[in-house]
């Protein structure tokens, strides 16, 4: 049996029904979203099922969508079935006011550093993480540098001529 996107969708639909609302396939990679309260259930299902076996966590990252109230932060998991060489992308969204997502460190040891980095740059609080603290930035930082909360350039600068930049 080959592990196709259609088969993975079918298995997820059988298990979770309409709790996983939509699927996409950008560049052929199955991408789907679930409520943040279900991230461990979905990850465990993808890991444990003998016909799925997504047992390699390639990456955890976050994306800040400032215009989506209540869904400002997306935590993105990239999973890989090494045996059949199939990759999928799984997303959960959380609000910036309470950016709590359950940790995946109990399932994937590699999630430890990836979650610390995601916390460090985006402020996602991974509930249950054994050592959630900054990993690359200084402890004294009181902000999360990859959030889109600040303008890209200083609007008060007087040393640049907008005509030189095509504005």
The residue extents of the domains of the chain are 5-145
Q: What pLDDT does residue 36 have?
A: 95
What digits encode the pLDDT tens for the residues 72-127? 999 999 999 999 999 999 999 999 999 999 999 999 999 999 999 999 999 999 99
Q: What CATH number was assigned to the domain covering residues 5-145?
A: 3.30.460.80
Which residues does 36 contact at the CB level (< 8 Å), separation at least 6? 75, 92, 93, 94, 100, 101, 102
Answer whether 0.75 is exceeded by the pTM: yes
CA geometry: angle 149, 155, 159, nearest 5 deg: 145
**Is the pLDDT at 164 greater than 90, yes or no?**
no
Q: How much is the pLDDT for 166?
A: 59
């Amino acid at each position: 049996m080959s592990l196709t996107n259609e088969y993975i969708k079918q298995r997820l639909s059988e298990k979770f029904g309409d709790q996983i609302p939509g699927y996409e396939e950008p560049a052929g990679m199955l991408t789907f979203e679930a409520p943040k309260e279900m991230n461990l259930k979905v990850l465990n299902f993808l890991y444990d099922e003998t016909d799925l076996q997504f047992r390699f966590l390639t990456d955890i990252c976050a994306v800040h969508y400032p215009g989506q109230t209540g869904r400002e932060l997306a935590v993105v998991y990239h999973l890989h079935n090494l045996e059949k060489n199939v990759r999928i992308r799984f997303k959960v969204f959380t609000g910036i006011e309470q950016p709590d997502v359950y940790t995946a460190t109990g399932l994937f040891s590699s999630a430890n550093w990836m979650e610390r980095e995601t916390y460090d740059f985006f402020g996602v609080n991974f509930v249950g993480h054994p050592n959630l603290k900054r990993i690359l930035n200084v402890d004294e930082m009181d902000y999360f540098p990859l959030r889109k909360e600040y303008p890209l350039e200083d609007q008060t600068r007087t040393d640049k001529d907008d005509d030189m930049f095509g504005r």
